[in-house]
Amino acid sequence: MVEGCKRRPLRNVVGLSLGGLGIAICIAALIFVWIVDARLSRATGRLIDGLDDSLVTVRERIVQIEDRIQSAKITSDELEKSLREWTKREVGERAALRLNAVDKVDRASVIVQQGGDLLETAESSAMLVNSVLSTIDSSGEPTALSALEQLIKQIASLRTQLADAAQVITTIHERLSGTSEAKLPAEKVEQVVQLTVRLAATFGDVEARLQKITEGLSDAQNRIEEAKTRVQRWIHASAIGVTLLILLMAAGQVALCRLAAKTEY
């Protein structure tokens, strides 16, 4: 009987000790969960803000392209006017006119090349943003990435259009520089004039499409903000779920302590 009396209090002590240890572990786990929640939220916020900054860079590139396309359109209009004056000038005056026209064509070529390079950079940035966003935001919402995907398609289409414009410019340059002004017939000049009209129309279309891309960028940035809110909400919801589970475990440890404290032998 004496040995039994000595062992029963020991069980109470063990029960209380284990329950207390369990409660301490639960408290530590709660602290850890909310530290991780705060850090994940900040890290996600910084990452998505970085994506937004990338789209700001894309917007800056688009503005630069718009400026260059406007300049190219003005140049093509001036080139058209110069060529329409071709047949009205004397042969001696045509040399200076042709050199001036070739100079305008070269300027337009440089502008289109720069625009293509800027579009390539903008497309690469948009694709990177789309790739990262699709990784961190797997909500499955059908419109979550549609704005970015549409933006990438529009930029790719514009690059193709500028490549076609560059080919037209090359054709104009070849026709102007491949024949002397004295041997350049009026029919050939008229063909070059039509090419410049086509070029100016292309630049006008590109300019209008660039404005639509700017609007698409605003939509994409709104989508990124929505994704940021959605991901952070998911992180908080996960933390709350784990917290409830830990609280349930802690309640079990409290019950164990109470049972050990109240048990009589």
Digit-by-digit pLDDT tens for the chain (265 residues) are 444 444 456 667 777 777 788 889 889 999 999 999 999 888 888 888 888 888 888 888 888 888 888 888 888 888 888 777 766 666 666 667 777 778 888 888 888 888 888 888 888 888 888 887 777 766 555 454 577 788 888 888 888 888 888 888 888 888 777 655 555 666 777 788 888 888 888 888 888 888 888 887 887 788 788 878 888 888 899 999 999 998 998 888 888 777 777 755 4
Phi, psi of 161 (to 5 degrees): -65, -40
Domain boundaries defined on the chain: 56-246
How high is the pLDDT of residue 5? Answer: 46
- The DSSP code sequence of 169-223 is HHHHHHHHHSS-GGG--HHHHHHHHHHHHHHHHHHHHHHHHHHHHHHHHHHHHHH
Task: Round to whole Å and give the CA distance between 44 and 39.
Answer: 8
The whole-model pTM stands at: 0.66
Task: Round to whole Å and give the CA distance between 202 and 205.
Answer: 5
Task: Round to whole Å and give the CA distance between 34 and 40.
Answer: 10
Task: Round to whole Å and give the CA distance between 151 and 146.
Answer: 8
Choices 2.20.25, 1.20.120, 1.10.860, 3.30.1540: CATH for 56-246: 1.20.120
